[in-house]
Amino acid sequence: MRKESATRSASQTSHHTTDRLHRLHPLLRKMRFREENNYLSVHAVAGTHCVLLGLDVKGYGKPKPESIDLHAMLSGMALDPERLNHENVQVASPPVTTTADINVGSSSSTVFVGFSIDRQDQVTKQIVSLNAGGKPIQKFHFGDYTALPGKQYVYTVGKMIKSSIAVDSTAQFVVDGSPVALTVSTEDPTEGTHGIFFNRGAAGSKAYSEKFGEFRKFHIVHHLDKPEWQSIINPRSIPDPEKSDEARTWLSRGLEEALLQFIAQASGSEYRLLAAVYEFTHEETIQAFASAIERGVDVKIIRHCKGTFRTRVRGNIIEKDENGKIVKDWIPDSTTEEATKAIDAVGFDNMKTAYIWHNDTFIERRHSSGLMHNKFIILLKNEKPISLWTGSINFTDSEIARKKGIEYKDYYDFVQRRENRIAYGAVLHPNAKDDASGECLTGLNTFVDYVHTKYLIVDALTDNPLVVTGSANFSVASTDKNDENSLVIRGDTRVADIYFTEFMRLFDHFYSRDKYNQYWHQDSSGDRGRLWGEVVADESWLDPYFDPSTQLYRERLLLR
C-alpha cells in the first residue's frame, strides 16, 4: 500500500479508547523508574517514543547570589532532540573512570561539567551514547526522543568532569565515579485500554532536513497576507516514490497507520462506523470509509458544511424569482468545498454502493454559530460501542486552525516572570537566505505551522493525574460556538506519562530553537547565535538549577 501521511508539521495527537479486558490494566503497568547511588539519582518517566530522565546530584549547595548568565544557563541543551536517530547514532565505548569519586560543588580541583548518558537495547545489546559529539549534557532533565515503543533499555548515567589534559587547547571531558544504571520499558501504544498516537510534530528539525534535504525547494509563501521566502521539503512533492513514502512515514510516526487500522476493524455488516469530521480531504482515510461501505459496514459521517448566501447578479442586475424575491446562492466555505471535492472523487465498482456513499452516508452540519470542529470515530459491533478514536488531528494533509491570542498586558506579565518558561514554534534561524542545510517545514500547512495538538495535564507525575484532550482549542470559539469534544481521564498514570513525555519532547524541541534564535538576533554578525549551545567548561551551568528563585530549580525538584 502506498503510504500517505496525514501528518503535518504541526503537532497532532489522537486517542484511541477501546474495550480490551484481556489486556493488562494500565494502572498496573510500571512506566516510572528510579535508581540512585551516593552521588547521583535518576528518575525515568517512559512514554511510547520518549523517555524522560530527571537527574540530580548530591553534595551541591546553593550558589553564591550572583547574576545568572542566560547563556550559561542554557548551554549544553540539545538543539535537536530528533537528530539522534537509529541510522547515525554514535556507538559508545564502555564508560572510563579516570579519577576518584568527587564531592560535586566542593573546592576540589575537579570540575563537574555535566552528565554522561548511554543507552543499551536489551534485545540487540547495542550501546549508544546520547552525548552529542561526546560533550557533557548540561541540564537536569534529559529527553531520549529516539526511543522506540515496546522496548526495554538500560540507561547508564554518570558524572563528567573536565580532564586536566587538554588537546589542542580544547577542554576534554571524562566520566568520573560510579554511574547509575536504570532499566526502563517503553509503552506499546496498541496495548492497554487507551492507545495514544502522536505524530512527529517536528518537521522543522535537523533530522528531517538531513534525511530529505536534497528535495528542498524555495517558495514565496503568504502569512497573514505578507509574502516571505521559505524553504520547504514537501513529502508529496518528492519525485522518488520510495523517498516520498519514507518522508511521510517519518512524519506520521505510526499515527496515520493506526487510524487506517482502526477503520479497517469494521470488517462486515455487523459493524457500524459513526464519525464527526471537520477537515476531510485525506485520500487514504476517505477511501478507508468507502471500502468499509463496500464490505457492508454501515457508515455515517457528520461533516462540517458551512457557507454564506450571496445575492445572484447577472450583469449589473440583481436577479429575482417569480415572486419578486431576491435570489441568493449558497457558497460553501473552503473547508466544505475541499471536502466535497474529495468525497466526490471516490469511485465504486457498482452504482448501489456509490448511491449509499453519496446519499446515505454524510450528514451536513450547517449551523451558523461556529464550526463543526469535532474529529472522532466510534466503532460499533452488533450495535454496541466498542472503540473510540478522537483527538486533535483532522482527516487531511493541511491544517486550518483558529487561534485566540492572550491580552497583551497579561501576556507580557506572564513571559516576564522569571519562574515561567515558554516555548514558541520555530525553526533554527538560517545564517543565510540560501542556507541549504537549515531547517524547514513541509509546506503542507496553510496556517498552523507548528503546534495543533490540544491537551492539558494536571499533576502529571502524581498517582492521580488528570489529562484533558480532544478537538477543542482553549478559545472562546471552541467553548461557546463550535461543535467540540473533550476527553477527561483521571488517575491513569500510563496515559499521563505518555502525554507528559510527548509534551516535554515538543517543549525541548522548540525552546532550544527559541533561545538559539534569540542569541542569533542579539548579535548582528550572528557569532553569538552560532556559539549558543556550546559546553561551559566550568560549574556556572549549575547555578540556576540550585537557585530557588528560578524555574529550573523547581523543575529539578519536580523531576528528580
Express each pLDDT in 535-544 by its tens digit. Answer: 888 899 999 8
Mean pLDDT of the chain: 77
Mean pLDDT of 297-312: 91
CA–CA distance, 286 with 343 (Å, rounded to integer): 7
Q: What is the pTM of this model?
A: 0.77
pLDDT at 239: 92
Q: Provide, rounded to the nearest whole percent, the portion of the chain with pLDDT above 90.
A: 33
Does the structure show a pLDDT above 80 at 476?
no
pLDDT at 312: 87
- Most confident range (mean pLDDT) of 57-66, 99-108, 479-488 is 479-488
Mean pLDDT of 214-243: 82
pLDDT band at 166 (very low <50, low <70, confident <90, very high): low
Strand partners, 158: 116
pLDDT at 533: 64
Mean pLDDT of 62-71: 42
Question: What DSSP designation does 121 have?
Answer: E
Mean pLDDT of 292-317: 91
Which is more confident, 201 or 129? 129
Cα 362 → chain centroid: 31
pLDDT at 329: 87
CA–CA distance, 274 with 278 (Å, rounded to integer): 14
pLDDT band at 120 (very low <50, low <70, confident <90, very high): very high
State pLDDT tens for residues 250-269: 888 888 888 999 999 999 99
Does the structure show a pLDDT above 90 at 45?
yes
Chain position carrying cell 522543522: 204
State pLDDT tens for residues 427-461: 776 653 445 457 777 766 666 667 777 888 999 99
pLDDT at 78: 42
User: Where is average pLDDT lowest: 249-258, 388-397, 495-504, 547-556?
Assistant: 388-397
Question: What DSSP designation does 336 have?
Answer: H
pLDDT at 251: 85
Which is more confident, 511 or 104? 511
Query: Please, are residues 177 and 161 in contact by the beta-carbon 8 Å criterion?
Result: no
CA–CA distance, 239 with 287 (Å, rounded to integer): 23
Q: Which three cell numbers stand for residue 184?
A: 526502563
Phi, psi of 63 (to 5 degrees): -70, 170
Q: Is 46 exposed, middle or buried (0-12, 13-18, 19+ CB in 10 A)?
A: buried
Chain position carrying cell 479508547: 17
pLDDT band at 213 (very low <50, low <70, confident <90, very high): confident
pLDDT at 7: 29
Q: Provide, rounded to the nearest whole percent, the portion of the chain with pLDDT above 70.
A: 72
pLDDT band at 51 (very low <50, low <70, confident <90, very high): very high
Mean pLDDT of 293-306: 94
pLDDT at 73: 38
pLDDT at 399: 35
